[in-house]
Amino acid sequence: MPRLYCKVDLEPRMPLKLKGILMDWGVEQRAFAAAIVQTTSYAKGRPLSLTAAANLVVRNIWPSLTPKDEIVRQTHDFLRGIGVPEAVIATAFELDPDDTHHYQHPKGCHAGQHGRAHQSGNDAALIDPVETEMLTPQAKKQFQLFRDPFTEDVQGPEDVFLSADQRYIREVLFATARHGGFVAVAGESGSGKTTLRRDMLDRIQREALPVIAIQPRSIDKGVLTASAICHAIIDDLNPGAKVPRSLEAQARAVERALTESSRAGNSHVLIIEEAHDLNIQTLKYLKRFWELEDGFKKLLAIILVGQPELKAKLDERRNFEAREVIRRCEIAELMPLDNMLEDYLRLKFNRVGADYDAIFAHDAADGIRRRLTRPGKTPRDSVSMVYPLTVNRLVVRALNLAAELGQPRIDANLVKEI
């Protein structure tokens, strides 16, 4: 690592004449980056990243994973391919101390043209901001990560990150399973819903509580029926018992099984994941299950877990015919990490023995928040996707890119280019 600092101190940081050549011939840096193929290490066969290309052209910072002469050769071939004269090509890697093309755009590309195209894809990018990417050996070595901080990252309750609203939802889920109730937890994909469900089940087992969790295994929740739920309850309470054919007989068998189990000291909770796919008729049937009781004691608590569409489905203004169940269901929504982002990352890296401050610059968390937030006309209109899964993916790509560039820490500028 000291060698990298030495190199940075000795190399002049100013644009290459290549910058002006690309502009004069109407070539964006994105197109130039795609034309240069890396040749060594894990990046072999992959095109140069936009950040690496920009650092080379604008700041004379050379990528660390591809030999300098190979980049020069491919660049010369690329320039020849677009018709640049040999005399001009020969000057491509000379320094341009006056930065004669400062604030200019490639010929044929109007100012803001690319920006609009990029912005139009930004909405989709915020839904799935970055592709899944594995942490490379180069990144692990540079940042001394002997384990991936985001793979198999929850192995016990101490690994579960809890923001204020997550802690509240965690306790609501536990109280519902233990004492009864009807709750729906809604949140974006990757917001931590499954982790909280697993935490609740682990806590029940860890504390040896007499709570039986019933989880219908139907893959397509859109076709989950009242009969299928009856089958799940009977199978879990009386394994191997014969399930009646008619729905009336199934309902009686369910009530009988729940009552016997309750009198034996057990509580019961029905957990339905992907509940946003439930049809309205099944949703209405849930009220009947929730109303099962033995004297004053409710026999079955219900927890629905789903994406934001679940919250919309439980909106009485949209589905008035389901108002009986909607009015009895408490909705808890998982919010983005936002102001808790740095605490989340510190937990993830500390648990694998890594020093957060040695890996992230002071502006890195702000850069990640900006990258994963779509601004609106007002702050209330902005859309944040700062959820655990999207953060994990973005940070892995940032670690890989930093290793590719030989950059010692992740900062906001690097995150911006991902």
CATH number (domain holding residue 271): 3.40.50.300
Q: Does one domain contain both 151 and 195?
A: no
Name 37's bridge partners.
47
Q: Does one domain contain both 194 and 329?
A: yes
Q: Does one domain contain both 114 and 216?
A: no
What span, in angstroms and rounded, lies between the C-alpha atoms of 149 and 76? 41
Q: What is the pLDDT of residue 54?
A: 84
Res. 12: pLDDT tops 70: no
Q: Does one domain contain both 406 and 353?
A: yes
Confidence of residue 417 (pLDDT cuts 50, 70, 90): confident
| Structural domain for 27, as ranges | 1-118
**Which among 283, 277, 275, 285 has a CA at the least distance from the CA of 319?**
283
Residue where a domain terminates, one of 301, 333, 365: 333
Residue where a domain terminates, one of 333, 364, 379: 333
Q: Does one domain contain both 169 and 278?
A: yes
Q: Does one domain contain both 282 and 169?
A: yes
Dihedral angle over CA of 70, 73, 77, 79, nearest 10: 110
Q: Does one domain contain both 106 and 127?
A: no
Supply the pTM of this predicted model.
0.70
The dihedral through the CA atoms of 34, 38, 41, 44 has a sign that is positive
Q: Does one domain contain both 245 and 114?
A: no
Segment 4-15 shows an average pLDDT of 54
Res. 39: pLDDT tops 60: yes
Please give the DSSP secondary-structure letter assigned to residue 191: S
Q: Does one domain contain both 179 and 307?
A: yes
Q: Does one domain contain both 183 and 278?
A: yes
The dihedral through the CA atoms of 250, 253, 259, 263 has a sign that is negative
The answer to whether 139 touches 264, Cβ cutoff 8 Å, is: no
The domain total for the chain is 3
Q: What is the pLDDT of residue 105?
A: 52
Q: Does one domain contain both 40 and 186?
A: no
Q: Does one domain contain both 309 and 180?
A: yes
